[in-house]
Amino acid sequence: MNHYYFTSEHQLFRKSLRDFLNREIVPHIDQWEEEGEIPKSAFKKLGDMGYYGLGFEESYGGMSTDIFYTMILVEELNKCNSAGTAASLLSHSTLALEHLSKNGSAFLKKNYLKPGISGDLIGCLAISEPHAGSDVSNIQTKAEDNGDHYIINGSKTFITNGIKSDFYVAAVRTGDKGYDGISMMVINRANPGIKTNALKKLGWHASETAEISFDNVRVPKENLIGEINKGFYYIMEKFELERLILSTGALASAEYALEYGLQYLSERKAFNRSLNTFQELRHRVAQLSAELACLKAFNYQICNALQLKENVTKECAMSKLLCTEFMDKLSYQILQFLGGYGYMEEYKAARIFRDSRIGTIGGGTSEIMREIIAKSIIG
């Protein structure tokens, strides 16, 4: 299927990226999982290689590449056996920088996008709050107009890279209740009044997840992204790409996990024969392979349509729903293939299993996806 979407340039890019990851990222992953975070130097390395510039303006150090380069980055990072690592390294560019590139002023691009692309500054997207996750229109963090700056009060939670980040691309309330009172702005981490706290998680151990509080934080007005009170729409616009990235990531992890499971099945013996000769397991593999191939073809097709600027809100929700739920199913099965070893940290299945579980929650839960799809089909 690759040949319909990926040119030989894409394949070469993939190969060189894979070499880079095998050299610079993979050897450190177990340590990062242990420590619960990824050092800033890793971001810088990706920046030096230009990986944070994919799809962004050349004038700020980016490369105006097509969406399939971005998806290759997503896929290969998700095949390093640590979804937390992938999430942490990717959210900087695909969440935070995306907003700056799409809606930011020249000032913001110069001061945050450019150093973000080079990996000198790390950014994160801060939307969810203790009382508003999927329900974005309900966010409470207040930005009060105070002459040439805003004063921010409130808190954010579940923020990937929320501690090490140099700046937040944050959703704040500048207007009335509801979705018409939300703005996006860049909050520099160096400002006084910001406190962060690392959250402990079921999985995604390599990725740092923070709770952030803002106590009278002063943000200059030029840090407003795009127009005032348009934040909700900016967030919604970016959801399409974000969801495709999540579904692409889930499928790449699934492919990685399935290959790993197949390898194990071919080596492990029971009752004097390889596990991969037992019909029951073979059929389970067949079913999973078929579903994986199907979702991959579907997902690529949507990537292509998004690139051609079609309205794919419904399809992105469908793909996110199906791919992340599929990954949960698959990771459960792969662990089962490994038996007792699947439960041991010495093998990869345990991490694959726990890392998968966030898929159906982050970026809009499965329930929200079904709401979106139902609305678009039924009205």
Partner 1 sequence: MKNYYFNEEHELFRQGLRDFLNKEVVPNIEKWEEEQRIPKEIFKKFGDMGYLGLNYPEKYGGIDADFFYAVVFTEEISKVFSGGFMAAFAVQQFMSSPYLMKHGSDFIKEKYLTKAISGDAICSIAISEPNAGSDVANIRTTAVREGNHYIVNGSKTFITSGVYGDVLITVVKTKPEEGFNGISLLVIDRDAEGVSATKLKKLGWHASDTAELSFDNVKVPVENLLGEENHGFFYLMDGLQLERLVGAIGGYAGSEAALDYSLQYMSEREAFGRPINKFQVLRHRVAQMSSEIESIKYFVYHCCRLHADGEYVVKECSMAKLLGTELSDKVMYQCLQFFGGYGYMEEYKMARMFRDSRIGTIGGGTSEIMREIIAKMVIDDKSYQKSTNTHIIKSKPTNGSMNGSSKTNNNTNNQKNTTMSYESTFNTMKEKAESAQPLGSVLKLNFGENRIVIDGTKGANQVSGEDIDANCTVDVSLDDFTSMLNGDLNPMGAFMSGKMKVKGDTGVALKLQTLFS
Q: Specify the stretch interacting with partner 1 by CB under 8 A; choose among 21-29, 122-130, 145-153, 284-292.
A: 284-292
Question: Of 33, 75, 98, 242, which one is the catalytic site residue?
Answer: 242
Q: What is the token pair recorded at 328?
A: 């949960």
Contact 242, 65 (CB under 8 A): no
Question: Which of the residues 309 through 338 are near partner 1 (CB under 8 A)?
Answer: 310, 312, 315, 317-319, 321-322
Total of chain residues touching partner 1, rule CB under 8 A: 67
Q: How far is the CB of 314 from partner 1 (least distance, A)?
A: 8
> Residue 76 and residue 94: Cα distance in Å, rounded?
15
Q: What is the token pair recorded at 13?
A: 């890019």
**Is residue 242 annotated as part of the catalytic site, yes or no?**
yes
Question: Which of the residues 222 through 261 are near partner 1 (CB under 8 A)?
Answer: 258-259
131 binds partner 1 (CB under 8 A): no
Q: Which of 127, 245, 246, 295 binds partner 1 (CB under 8 A)?
A: 295
Question: Which of the residues 17 through 36 are near partner 1 (CB under 8 A)?
Answer: 19
Q: How far is the CB of 260 from partner 1 (least distance, A)?
A: 10
> Residue 87 and residue 74: Cα distance in Å, rounded?
9
Contact footprint for partner 1 (CB under 8 A) = 1, 4, 7-9, 11-16, 19, 48-50, 53, 57-59, 61, 63-66, 68-69, 258-259, 262, 265-266, 276, 282-283, 285-287, 289-291, 293-295, 297-298, 301-302, 304-305, 308, 310, 312, 315, 317-319, 321-322, 367, 369-374, 377-378
Residues with catalytic roles: 242
